């Protein structure tokens, strides 16, 4: 067994069950793994991956290994590490893994260090902490690194800033920008899993409830569509008038935050901004209002103001905190205002991660022959990868589609339709 640092190798069998279950929901990645095993496109590449250590990630690591890569894994977020999966990765799949759920900052950075000790030629990340460490504390390793990938918006922003400042040493593929990632995980993944989280936390009936959705970007659209699909009457709060108009044309009521505060039974926020509802709104809310966050950070609701306004609070169900207001109303906050789909449910279904991680694997394959030639900046995912992932996904669903005929291709290139 290669060196590793995980919580308890005894959990490996339970972890393998999780990895296998996820694998069955990830047919695109499984297909790529099969092809990689035959073609070995990553042969001998040393990869240091810093990702959430989950069953889905395990299947990505298996795919890299099948492609010939020499890959190690550390955690990009200690809270999301699944210790049984980490144990199985080490025990059954021979992937050196450095991750312990709930580890402290020291352990976290020691594990990133261990991953870097692998002397990566490629980095694969979720948030850019490892890239940052590499460019600051471990610069001696930079010479050998020829490329990387990044999964998140946050990471891409950091990397673009580094590139603009001339500080990025090698090219990075922004997997986040794939249509097959952000069109799908936000809309369908978060859309479903936010509802799921609320159901698990509260067991309320959605039918007949007024659900107020904060934001009508991809996340908000997905949530609005699913809340509506469960029988709720949906209200949308937006600040962008074009999006607000789309929400209205989609048949929803559109309101400002203050008006919405007075009518909502459930508030779900996915704006990416802060204080969508806050100090001025809590006094207006109905008795029994439920607040659930589906945005990345836990400041979409101004919770410190709620704490301050409330007479007391207590946990009434797992992930459901009741704030008793001085006038006797009760307001419920789910999962402490953190992402409700991760806090109270299981996050994105594996089927959604299937596409994101297929983008990762194919991004690496695309990168390999180009690694020496690309500039040290952030690259969007190539359109052909996006199309390939979508094509594989459809095939896994049993869907048959046509390609354009040559005649149609010629037509489409000579004219772009007016409608």
250 near its own copies, judged by CB under 8 A: yes
The interface with its own copies within residues 295-324 (CB under 8 A) comprises: 295-297, 316-317, 320
Output Rg (C-alpha) for the chain, integer angstroms. Answer: 23
Opening angle at CA 186, ends 147 and 227, nearest 5 = 170
Query: Between residues 45 and 332, which has the closer beta carbon with respect to its own copies?
Result: 332
Judged by CB under 8 A, the residue of 9, 37, 163, 204 near its own copies is 204
Q: Contact region for its own copies (CB under 8 A) — 69-77, 94-102, 112-120, 216-224?
A: 216-224
Does position 165 interact with its own copies (CB under 8 A)? The reply is no
Note whether 331 and 282 are within 8 A (CB).
yes
Judged by CB, which is closer to its own copies: 169, or 210? Answer: 210
Show Cβ contacts of residue 183 under 8 Å, excluding neighbours closer than 6 positions: 218
Judged by beta carbon, residue 120 or residue 295, the one nearer its own copies is: 295
**Does position 394 bind its own copies by CB under 8 A?**
yes
Does the protein bind its own copies through residue 119 (CB under 8 A)?
no
What are φ and ψ of residue 132, in 5° steps?
Answer: -65, -45
Segment contacting its own copies (CB under 8 A): 60-68, 91-99, 130-138, 253-261?
A: 253-261
Report CA-CA distances (Å) from 249 to 24, 126, 212, 236, 256. 38, 36, 16, 12, 17
Q: Which stretch binds its own copies (CB under 8 A): 40-48, 130-138, 223-231, 372-380?
A: 223-231
106 near its own copies, judged by CB under 8 A: no
User: Does 279 interact with its own copies (rule: CB under 8 A)?
Assistant: no
**Shortest gap between Cβ of 264 and its own copies (angstroms)?**
11
CA 270 to CA 81: how far, in whole Å? 24
The pairing of beta strand 172-174 with beta strand 253-255: unpaired
- Give the nearest distance from C-beta 364 to its own copies in angstroms: 21
Contacts with its own copies, 62-101, as mask; x by CB under 8 A: ----------------------------------------
Pick between residue 92 and residue 317 the one whose CB is nearest to its own copies.
317
CB of 266 to its own copies, least distance (A): 13
Q: Which residues, in sequence order, are bridge partners of residue 73?
A: 49, 97
Give residues 19-48 in contact with its own copies (rule: CB under 8 A): 20-21, 24-25
Residue 72 near residue 47 (C-beta atoms within 8 A): yes
Check if the beta carbon of residue 172 is closer than 8 Å to that of residue 360: no
C-alpha distances in Å from residue 362, one per residue of 42, 48, 177, 230, 260: 10, 16, 14, 36, 44
């Amino acid at each position: 067994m290669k060196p590793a640092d995980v919580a308890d190798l005894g959990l490996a069998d339970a972890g393998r069950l999780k990895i296998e279950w996820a694998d069955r929901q990830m047919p695109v990645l499984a297909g790529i793994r099969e092809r990689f095993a035959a073609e070995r496109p990553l042969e001998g590449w040393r990869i240091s991956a810093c990702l959430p250590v989950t069953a889905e990630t395990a299947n990505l690591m298996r795919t890299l290994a099948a492609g010939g890569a020499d890959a190690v894994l550390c955690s990009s977020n200690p809270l999301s590490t699944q210790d049984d999966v980490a144990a199985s990765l080490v025990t059954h799949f021979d992937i050196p893994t450095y991750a312990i759920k709930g580890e402290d900052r020291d352990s976290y950075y020691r594990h990133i260090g261990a991953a870097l000790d692998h002397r990566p030629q490629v980095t694969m990340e979720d948030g850019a902490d490892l890239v940052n460490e590499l460019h600051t504390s471990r610069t001696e390793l930079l010479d050998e690194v020829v490329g990387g990938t990044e999964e998140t918006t946050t990471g891409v922003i950091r990397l673009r800033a580094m590139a603009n400042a001339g500080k990025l040493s090698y090219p990075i593929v922004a997997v986040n920008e794939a249509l097959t990632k952000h069109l799908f995980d936000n809309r369908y993944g978060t859309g479903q899993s936010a509802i799921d989280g609320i159901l698990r936390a509260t067991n309320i009936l959605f039918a007949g409830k007024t659900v107020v959705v904060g934001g009508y970007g991809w996340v908000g659209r997905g949530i609005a569509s699913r809340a509506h699909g469960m029988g709720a009457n949906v209200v949308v709060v937006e600040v962008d008038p074009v999006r607000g108009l789309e929400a209205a044309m989609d048949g929803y009521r559109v309101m400002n935050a203050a008006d919405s505060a007075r009518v909502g039974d459930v508030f779900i926020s996915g704006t990416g901004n802060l204080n969508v509802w806050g100090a001025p709104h809590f006094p207006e809310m109905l008795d029994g209002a439920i607040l659930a966050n589906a945005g990345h950070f836990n400041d979409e609701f101004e919770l410190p103001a709620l704490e301050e306004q409330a007479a007391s609070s207590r946990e009434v169900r797992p992930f459901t905190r009741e704030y008793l207001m001085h006038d006797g109303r009760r307001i419920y906050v789910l999962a402490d205002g953190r992402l409700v789909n991760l806090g109270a449910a299981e996050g994105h279904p594996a089927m959604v991660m299937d596409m994101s991680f297929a983008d990762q694997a194919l991004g690496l394959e695309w990168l390999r022959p180009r690694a020496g030639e690309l500039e040290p900046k952030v690259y969007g995912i190539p359109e052909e990868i996006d199309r390939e992932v979508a094509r594989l996904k459809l095939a896994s669903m049993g869907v048959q589609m046509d390609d354009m005929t040559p005649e149609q291709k010629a037509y489409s290139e000579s004219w772009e339709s007016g409608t």
